[in-house]
Structures are given as structure tokens and as C-alpha cells.
Chain A
């Protein structure tokens, strides 16, 4: 990075650190913080949408839809997250490759499963072997987002269906008395009012999502935990910047990062809650009205 970094062995402490902390490898560590934040910002709205769909399906008048909504919320919540984090990306990846095989190589005759191997034609690979590395990484992150969405959507569905039940029933009946259809009641009365009841549960979920991001490492995405472990481990003379075991310091940085992240989220949720309470027939809403 700096011109004096050519020979690290000759540097004094301050300059050594200036060089060490700006190597390309360290930069990847700094980037991975962005990866984590971006991942959460993408996952949260998609998971919320999945949760809303699940909750609405659970209230549907169509019986099979209700079953699907119920099964989704209950089965996914009942299985350890980690099982889904391992299952969803592999199942999705192999499913997509199998579909592509059917379309791209119609005359492929070999079996897809040969012993332990999962074999598809080269054109059916997802992403293609010839794709640059960043495409492979983005694909891995997309699979991770799918896994997070699947799991957190189920928890979201449960929180939202609870919130929907908390909306005063009299209001829904009044709407019906005015002649609104079921769809209109859902859109005009139920959805706008349920958020304030859902918020505490959703903020909980968000916190859990933040803390679950180190699971990314398990999915092969090079996230903050991966780099902290890799950079912090003791380095022998095979590396340009040799140093003893510094994992303690690297993990301390992670600790501070996650604490800051949850603190900022808490403040944001407190504001959102105040905003949503306005004009609501709840204790917080009444207080807001008096103030």
C-alpha cells in the first residue's frame, strides 16, 4: 500500500502496522463487514415478505393454502437452523443444476448420481466452471440468502400471524358491517394495524438474524469470522508479515462490531415503534396522543 512497505522486516513498529493493516488480505477482511451488512439488509425484507405470505396463507379460507402456511411456520421452526442452513443451499444448488441439465443437455444419458458423485454436463453447472470467481461467490451468497429467508420467514410468519390476531376483532367486524370484502378488510384494516403488535417480535428476529450471520462461514462464504480466524492465526515465516496468535484481538473487533450493530438497530426500532404507535388504540399510542 505505502511505498515503504517493500521490506517489512526492516520497519519499525508503527510503520510495520501501517503496512500490515493495509495488505490486500486485510482489505478483504474489511470488505467482509460490508458483505455481512448487505446480506442482512437484503435478507430482512425478503424474509419479511415470506413471513407475510406464510401468515396470510395461514388465515386463508382455502384449506390447502392454510395447510401450507401452517406447515411452513411449524415445521421450519421445529428443526434446528443449522440443519436448514446445510440442507437448503445443497438442495437448491443440485435442484437448479438438475433442471438446467434437463434443458441444456437433453441427450445426457448418464445417471446424475454416480456413487457419491453428483454429475451433470458442463453446460448445466451453476455457475459455469468458466465463470469468474466473483460469480461463484455471489452465487454462494445468493444461496445463503435463500437459506436465511427460508428459516427466518417461518419465524416471521409466526410473529405476524400473532400480530394479526391481536388487532381488535371489533374493528374487522365493523369493516364487514360497512360492506367491505375480505380482501379490503385485510388491506385496509388488518395490515396497517398489525405492525405495531408485530414490532417487538420482529425486532427480536432481527437481532437473532444479526447474530446468526457467522453461520455464513459454514456455507463457505468468506465472512468476518472466516477472515478473523485466518488473519488472527499465528503466522510463520512463510508469510511476509509473521506474527504470533492474534485471534483474541481479531475476535475482539468482531465483538465490538456486533455490539455496535445491535445498538444501532435498537435505536432504529425504538423510533419505528414510536412512529407506528401514532393513532393506535394501544397504551403507547394513547401516550403519544397526550404528548
Chain B
């Protein structure tokens, strides 16, 4: 009797109906405005949402957005919880060992420091950066004391309450925080990484080709530039 129940349960688990259309699940962090964030309706929004939806349309794919912690965003991609990463992730050799990237859809970025006031010693001070980012790697090399946080927002909080002397991150993420005047840009911008691309599983070559083709098309007809200007202002580097 017990065996029957168990095998029925197992069958039910194994036999859910297969639907015809396949869906591409787009993974993002949802905490890195204006690249990606969760808007007041609880939906994923931002540059990457707009771009991703357009790419899916051009590649004739049905896409669904899901959010995942930055820390575990690559492990959950390779174990198949979602199929792509669009989370402001720079293309680096280290990441390329684990996952594949499409061509960049955002040119190689400049990273900047922001701090409450000028005169921060960026070589020896305490610099906050988000864990597992190229900026964190860079700070560790400069000899400054690196203070890591799980989200970009926490790095801002750290510099505001004096825990850190400055934050180091992507320019377009940091600039909005300087708007109210409490924080300002210090030091020189640093060029890091090979641009931002969409991350995919290494085994997913067909999907990668589709998105690569769509990005190329958007670069050629100028629609990618339009999106870049819409989200990052007219000073942004364009294709």
C-alpha cells in the first residue's frame, strides 16, 4: 500500500504536461539601478530590462525575468535555474572560465570613486565595493583597504555612515547618488573590464548565437545607442 502511494506520488511528479513553447528565463540582480532594479510595481525595470525585451523580440523568443542574489548568480545559471544573466556583468577572463558571454551590449565601462568630500587617499584609505565585482578586484590590487558588501546599495550606505572613505563602482551606477550633493566624484576614472555582456551557460551555444545576432542588429540600426542615451544620458560612450 505504502509503495503504491509512493510510486503514484513519484509518477505525478514525473508526468506534468509538456507545453509546446519554450521560454527563456532571464536572470538579473534587480538591485543595480539604472542597469536593473525592481520598480515600485515590483517588476524588473531599467536599461537591461528594456534591452533584454527588445533582444527577445528580435530573436523571436518568449522571455521571463527572474531575480537572483548577485553572490550566487553564476552558480544558479550553470545549474539551470535560469538561462541568461543580464546584470551589468562585465566580461572578464575569470568569468569566461565558468560561463560564456555574448558580445558586449554596453561599451567597456569607466569606474569612479565617490566620497563625501575631496582629499580621500584612494591608495591607502578604506574603499567599499560590491563582492565579486571587477571593482572589488581592482581595489584589492591598489593596496587600499577593501570593504566588501553583498549589494551596491550597502556600499553607498557604508560611505554615508563613515564606515568607508569612498565607494568604487560603475560610473553610471554611482552618478545618481551624487545628485543630492551629499556625495561627489573624487579621483580619476578607471577603465576596467571588457564591456558588459549577457552571460550564458557554455553548453547553450545556439541561444548565444541568437542573442549575438540580435545585439549586432541593434548596434547596426542604432537602436542600442538610443537605449544607452535614454538611461545613461547623452555623455555615454556609444557604438
**A235-253 interface code vs B (CB 8 A; 1 in, 0 out):** 0111111000101000000
Taken together as a complex, chains A and B put the C-alpha atoms of A24 and B76 apart, in Å, by 27
A116: Cβ under 8 A from any B Cβ: yes
| A25:B179 contact, CB within 8 angstroms | no
Known: A99-B14, A229-B151. A117 touches B203 (CB 8 A): yes
- A115 touching B176, Cβ below 8 Å: no
Cβ-closest chain A residue relative to B152 = A233
Whether the pair A25, B19 counts as a contact (CB closer than 8 A) is: no
Nearest chain B CB to A100 CB, angstrom units: 5
Closest to A128 in B: B19
B182-228 interface with A by 8 A CB criterion: 201-203
B140 CB–A CB distance under 8 Å = no
Inside 8 A of B18's CB, which chain A residues have their CB?
Answer: 104, 123, 128
Beta-carbon contact of B157 and A245 below 8 Å: yes
B7 CB within 8 Å of chain A: no
Assembly CA distance A131 to B39 (angstroms): 23
Q: Of the 9-residue stretches A52-60, A89-97, A162-170, A195-203, which lies at the interface with chain B?
A: A89-97
Q: How far is the CB of B7 from chain A (nearest CB, A)?
A: 12
Flag whether A64 is at the interface (Cβ < 8 A).
no
- Closest B residue to A93 by beta carbon equals B79
* Residue A184 at the chain B interface, CB threshold 8 Å: no
Q: At the interface with chain A, which of B21-29, B85-93, B104-112?
A: B21-29
A125 vs B15: C-alpha distance when bound (angstroms)? 12
Counting chain A CB atoms within 10 Å of each CB, which of B21, B39, B42, B202 scores highest? Answer: B42
Taking chain B's interface residues, is the majority helix, strand, or loop, or is none over half, making it mixed?
loop
B52 sits at the interface (CB 8 A): no
Cβ of A122 < 8 Å from any Cβ of B? Answer: yes
Q: Is the CB of B69 within 8 A of A128?
A: no
Chain B positions within 8 Å of A104 at CB level: 14, 18
What's the Cα separation between A241 and B33 when bound, in Å?
14
The residue of chain B having its C-beta at the shortest distance from the C-beta of A133 within the complex is B64
Q: Are B40 and A233 neighbours in the complex by a CB distance under 8 Å?
A: no
Contact B41 A116, beta carbon cutoff 8 Å: no
CB distance from B74 to the nearest CB of A (A): 9
- Residues of B contacting A18 with CB < 8 Å? none
Q: Which of B42, B66, B201 contacts A28 (CB 8 A)?
A: B42
> Once the chains bind, are A129 and B203 in contact (CB under 8 Å)?
no
Query: Residues of A within 8 Å of B, CB-based: how many?
Result: 45
B201 A117 Cβ-Cβ under 8 A: yes
Contact A114 B203 (CB under 8 A): yes
Is B171 part of the contact surface with A, judged by Cβ < 8 Å? no
- Known pairs A122-B22, A233-B31; A238 contacts B176 (CB<8 A): yes
| A187–B102 CA distance with the chains assembled, in angstroms | 64
Q: Once the chains bind, are B154 and A233 in contact (CB under 8 Å)?
A: yes
Bound CA span A24–B43, Å: 9
Distance between B151 CB and nearest chain A CB, rounded to angstroms: 7
**Inter-chain contact A234/B157, CB cutoff 8 Å:** yes
Q: Which of B30, B42, B68, B78 contacts A117 (CB 8 A)?
A: B78
Residue of A nearest to B173 (CB): A236
B98 adjacent to chain A (CB < 8 Å):
yes
B143 to chain A minimum Cβ distance, whole angstroms, is 29
Q: At the interface, yes or no: A204 with Cβ under 8 Å from chain B?
A: no
Partner of B41, one of A24, A118, A125: A24
Rounded to whole Å, the gap between the CB of A7 and the closest CB of chain B is 13
Q: Across the interface, do A25 and B38 meet the contact criterion of CB distance under 8 Å?
A: yes
Contacts of B78 in A (CB 8 A): 116-118
Determine the distance from Cα of A237 to Cα of B201 in the docked complex, in whole angstroms. 34
Is A270 an interface residue, CB under 8 A from the partner? Answer: no
Q: In the complex, how many angstroms separate the beta carbon of B225 from the nearest chain A beta carbon? A: 20
Nearest chain A CB to B88 CB, angstrom units: 13
Interface residues of A in 127-177 (CB under 8 A from B): 127-131, 133, 136
Cross-chain contact of B79 among A27, A94, A99, A130 (Cβ < 8 A) = A94
Report if B239 contacts A (CB, 8 A): no
B residues contacting A by CB (< 8 A) are 10, 13-16, 18-19, 21-25, 30-31, 33-34, 37-43, 46, 62, 64, 66-69, 72, 76, 78-81, 83, 98-99, 151, 153-154, 156-157, 160, 176-177, 179, 201-203
Known pairs A114-B203, A128-B19; list 14 more (Cβ under 8 Å).
Answer: A23-B42, A93-B79, A100-B13, A103-B15, A115-B202, A116-B78, A125-B80, A128-B18, A129-B83, A130-B23, A220-B76, A233-B31, A233-B157, A234-B160
* CB<8 Å pairs between A and B, sample of 17: A23-B40, A25-B38, A25-B39, A25-B40, A28-B42, A115-B202, A115-B203, A116-B78, A116-B202, A120-B80, A130-B19, A220-B76, A220-B81, A233-B31, A234-B153, A238-B34, A238-B176
Report the 4 A-B pairs with minimum CB-CB distance, sorted nearest first: A233-B153, A236-B176, A238-B33, A24-B41
